[in-house]
């Protein structure tokens, strides 16, 4: 296992060490695939975007500023590639959010991260129904809000990392993340009320 930092590996790759890209791909595979899957809602598309992302890393490795962190740059490229695919497909996709947050299962599912005051509107629903409501709520959010919510809560990126990844000011990250949580809460409540009326 290569113990060099991401930035050291990319520097080595730029100077001709062809094998230095493979540890980067392995190191970021799971996190990036989860992000892309939740963003696009389709495993095949996520895999294609993953491949396109690392092809772009290869092509653009010479332009990377090694004094900066690699991960936000990687997620910037991935998010841009995913946006392009979603625009081309021009249709919304349902997200599967029943995977554990953080990948270790200790923190529950994505819906567990959304803290709302008072009782949830769908207390009586079972786990699969709840997950379906979460999927519906997230799928109805605009792509910009969905993306920042996944980076902040699912990828656990800091505000500054999100700012780098999305190329937006720190203040915009904070306000957009706040708007994303509020949007999710509203969609979640609407989904719960619709479920209760059925």
State pLDDT tens for residues 65-124.
888 899 999 999 999 999 888 888 754 444 444 444 444 444 444 455 444 444 444 444
**Confidence at residue 157, expressed as pLDDT on a 0 to 100 scale:** 83
Gap between the terminal Cα atoms of the chain: 54
In contact, 192 and 121? CB cutoff 8 Å: yes
CA distance 86 to 119: 35
pTM of the predicted structure, to 2 decimals: 0.62
Domains along the sequence of the chain with CATH = 1-93 (1.10.1740.10), 107-198 (1.10.10.10)
CA distance 59 to 92: 30
pLDDT digits (tens, 9 = 90+) for 122-164: 444 466 677 677 767 777 888 888 888 888 877 788 888 888 8
Over 60: is that where the pLDDT of 6 sits?
A: yes
Of 19-28, 117-126, 134-143, 184-193, which has the strongest mean pLDDT?
19-28
Q: From the CB of residue 179, how many other CB atoms can be counted at a distance below 10 Å?
A: 16
**Confidence at residue 103, expressed as pLDDT on a 0 to 100 scale:** 42
pLDDT digits (tens, 9 = 90+) for 165-183: 888 898 898 888 888 888 8
Q: Is the dihedral of CA 96, 102, 104, 107 positive or negative?
A: negative
**Confidence at residue 117, expressed as pLDDT on a 0 to 100 scale:** 42
Measured at the alpha carbon of residue 52, what is the angle toward residues 174 and 45, in degrees to the nearest 5? 80
Residues 6+ away with beta carbon under 8 Å from 7: 66, 68, 69, 70
**Confidence at residue 93, expressed as pLDDT on a 0 to 100 scale:** 41
């Amino acid at each position: 296992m290569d113990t060099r930092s991401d930035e050291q590996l990319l520097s080595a790759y730029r100077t001709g060490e062809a094998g230095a890209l493979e540890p980067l791909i392995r190191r970021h595979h799971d996190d990036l695939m989860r992000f892309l899957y939740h963003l696009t809602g389709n495993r095949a598309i996520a895999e294609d975007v993953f491949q396109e992302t690392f092809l772009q890393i290869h092509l653009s490795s010479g332009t990377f500023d090694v004094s900066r962190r690699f991960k936000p740059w990687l997620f910037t490229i991935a998010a841009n590639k995913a946006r392009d695919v979603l625009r081309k497909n021009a249709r919304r996709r349902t997200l599967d959010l029943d995977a554990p947050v953080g990948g270790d299962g200790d923190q529950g599912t994505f819906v567990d991260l959304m803290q709302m005051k008072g009782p949830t509107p769908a207390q009586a629903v079972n786990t699969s129904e709840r997950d379906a409501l979460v999927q519906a709520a997230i799928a109805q959010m605009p792509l910009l809000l969905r993306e920042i919510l996944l980076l902040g809560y699912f990828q656990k990126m800091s505000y500054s990392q999100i700012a780098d990844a999305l190329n937006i000011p720190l203040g915009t990250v904070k306000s957009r993340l706040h708007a994303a949580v509020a949007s999710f809460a509203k969609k979640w409540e609407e989904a719960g009320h619709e479920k209760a009326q059925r």
